[in-house]
Structure 1
Amino acid sequence: MTDPSATPPRRILYIHGHSLKPSQEVLEEFTRNAIRSGIQRDFPDDVAAFDEAEIELMYYGDLTRPMLTDRGREYDEELDIGDRRNALASLRAVPRRKKFSFRQYDTLPGKTASKEFFAGIVAPLMGFLGMTIPLIARIAPVFAAYLRNEDGLGSRIRERARGQIISAFEARAPLMIVAHGMGSFVAFDVLWQLSRDERFAAYASRKVDCFVSMGSPLADNYVRRFLIGAKSTGIERFPGNIINWTNLAAEDDYLCHDGTVADDFRAMMREHIVSRITDYRIYNQAVRYGKSNPHSSVGYLIHPRLSKVIRDWVCNPAGPL
């Protein structure tokens, strides 16, 4: 007989980014394998604890693929899956966490900071001129469509994310949210809704143990204006349900050209809305289609920094670290 007072398994909800994705089943398995590989490399004795956690994918690739293909984006799913597996296999072959260094990163094929330079220098100027959305639409059209809520896309994505977070809240499951790129923006919006929107008042007191953003645009001054809570004032601008926030930003990742969030969201610390915000600058060693891709999700998911954050959380019986 199940003990109703027992704490349910820890739950990790992963929210993916903006690019074209393979099927939900494939991406969910790939995500788990990438995270598990990092923990196996650095903390082999703790793999069993990780395996006890529930890993969920918040998937919206089926909502965005038609939009992208209608705009002429070609997608070879079989090739994408094969290249993702090749990238993961190469990263699995890195023997030690110390190898995820600048020295190794600097040797990757096709490495360039041109996108990051464009995002860091040109984007602020275009934002000042009111051209933020056209710029985002060129680089990340799905993200631009989300911000503009084209055809209700933003609302539909948030509805899915809300459903999965509410499910964890109702199960009283300890929850970590790991979100990549645009996914971190979605997570922030939904967490704001669940803690500030009167429609979801029943969940206002529930907390997320740890929010991990990777390659996130949340530090961008102009993009941040599109957050759902941006028009509110005081502490109402921010979600009130995050205990710990860890942000990973890879060198040369164009989507997180401003790599730190602690300075942009320091009011959350000052007003005691969050316990801790920690920024880490990392080197994403992923190679996709023969070239360095510092925004690639697999390079974040297998990185030693994320491995440690997740390992510390799943192995800490008293609560989040």
Structure 2
Amino acid sequence: MHDRPLILGIHGLANKPPKEEKQAWWAEAIREGLRRNLGEDPRDLSFDFVYWADLRYDAPLSEDSNREPYYPARGRGPFPSADGVCAPTLTDRLYRIVEWAQEKTGRLVLDDFIIEHRLDDLWGYYEDAAFRESARNRLREALEQHAGRPLLLAAHSMGSLIAYDVLRQLERDGRCPRIEHFVTLGAPLGLAEIKHRLAEEHGALRVPYAVARWSNLGDREDVATVGTTLAEAYAPNATGVGVIDRPVLNTYRRPRGSVNHHKSYGYLRTPEFSEAVAAFLDREEAVASVEMSDARSA
């Protein structure tokens, strides 16, 4: 069982419910997407979860204060898909102009504002070295625990930054885990300041050597995904693996009806993510089929 393909998730910004609850909600959102988009319902989904909110917050988010819980979406049938074209939005175009101006002046004023006031945990990640290292260690420990297993690493929001940092660090240390599919969801990796900080620590921006495939899923209305596409910003690795940017529609709604285009549950239910999971799990079925055939032959 220890060589079965595993989906490993890592959460993003802001405080979260207790780990067990958050992990169960991620798994159920993945299953809901598979049921509605593909008609599949894996009962024993191999899933593990990297939780770091307790490193930054004194207590988990209580049920009474959680404005964005997981709950099954209304309706039936597949969730909507984007048109497949990753064209820049008006916001992207405006941001690129500002990014050019920031580069010319050497002052990342807009990025500082976005990160400090809209993506606060990102600010803390760079200002608090102890927190940063502890968050990275959580993912390192999970990768070590599951060493040798085929992995789909699903990283939401700031989790994508932690994952990128860890994968680049591990390759420098000579420890390069195999990531069959790296799926980033609502990743802020296109923001100018994030790119600058990553380049300062890791050198030229590129796909980590450990990654056999990288799909970047982003709703174009999600403020965290503003800026360049990741395929523009991150070069292919030495084996030619590049980033595949896939626009999606994050349809998550809060219980009172307002939308959140950045919410993890919405990303985990998209047809594009369901397709990635199903393709990854097909490997497990193929391995099981071979093992059964070998057992019969014996």
Tell me if TM exceeds 0.5. yes
Residues 1:307 and 1:19: Cα distance change in structure 2 (over 3 Å):
same
Does 2:182 align with 1:207?
no
Letter in 1 for 2:112: I
8 Å CA contact retained: 1:119, 1:255 = no
Q: Distance in 2 between matches of 1:297 and 1:141?
A: 17
Whole-angstrom distance in 2 between the partners of 1:275 and 1:16:
24
Q: Is structure 2 residue 5 aligned with structure 1 residue 13?
A: no
The residue type equivalent to 2:190 in the other structure is A
1:79 equivalent in alignment to 2:46? no
Residues 99 and 142 from structure 1, CA distance in 2 versus in 1: closer, same or farther, beyond 3 angstroms? Answer: closer
Provide Cα deviations, 1:225-269, integer angstroms capped at 9, x if missing partner.
Answer: 222x6445468x65211110000010210001136211211x325
Instruction: Report the CA distance shift for 1:290/1:121 in structure 2 as closer, same or farther (over 3 A).
Output: farther
Q: Corresponding residue for 2:18?
A: 23
Structure 1 portions without partners, runs of 5+: 1-5, 70-74, 103-112
TM-score (norm 1): 0.76
AA paired with 1:160? R
Letter in 1 for 2:168: W
Code of the aligned partner of 2:78: R
User: In the alignment, does 2:167 pair up with 1:182?
Assistant: no
Specify the SS of the correspondent of 2:180. strand
For 1:277 and 1:264, the matched residues in 2 are separated by 9
Sort the Cα spacing of 1:211 and 1:184 in 2 relative to 1 into closer, same or farther, 3 A.
same
Structure-to-structure mapping, 1:45-194, within 5 angstroms: 46-48=40-42, 51-66=43-58, 77-81=62-66, 83-85=68-70, 88-89=71-72, 91=73, 93-97=74-78, 99-100=80-81, 120=95, 124=99, 128-131=106-109, 132-148=111-127, 150=128, 152-169=130-147, 172-194=148-170
CA contact (8 A) 2:81 2:272 kept: no
What secondary structure sits across from 1:279 in the alignment? strand
Q: How does 1:263-302 map to 2 (within 5 A)?
A: 263-265=232-234, 267-269=235-237, 271-272=238-239, 274-288=240-254, 289-302=256-269
SS where residue 13 of structure 1 aligns?
strand
Query: Residues 65 and 53 from structure 1, CA distance in 2 versus in 1: closer, same or farther, beyond 3 angstroms?
Result: same
| Aligned residue pair count | 276
Identical positions, percent: 23
Residues 158-211 of structure 1: CA distance to partner in whole angstroms, max 9, x if unpaired? 011110011111xx1111100111100000000111111x3xx2x23x311000
Query: Comparing both structures, which one devotes a greater share of its residues to helix?
Result: 1
Structure 2, unmatched stretches of 5+, are 84-88, 288-298
One-letter amino acid matched to 1:222: E
Question: Contact 2:36/2:76 (CA < 8 Å) preserved in 1?
Answer: yes
Root mean square deviation, CA, Å: 2.9
1:246-298 residue CA offsets vs partner (Å, 9 max, x unmatched): 00010210001136211211x325x42x5342111111111124311111111
Question: 1:123/1:18 Cα in 2 relative to 1: closer, same or farther (>3 Å)?
Answer: farther
Change (3 A) 1:59 1:246: same
In the TM superposition, what is the alpha-carbon distance from 1:143 to its structure 2 partner? 0.9
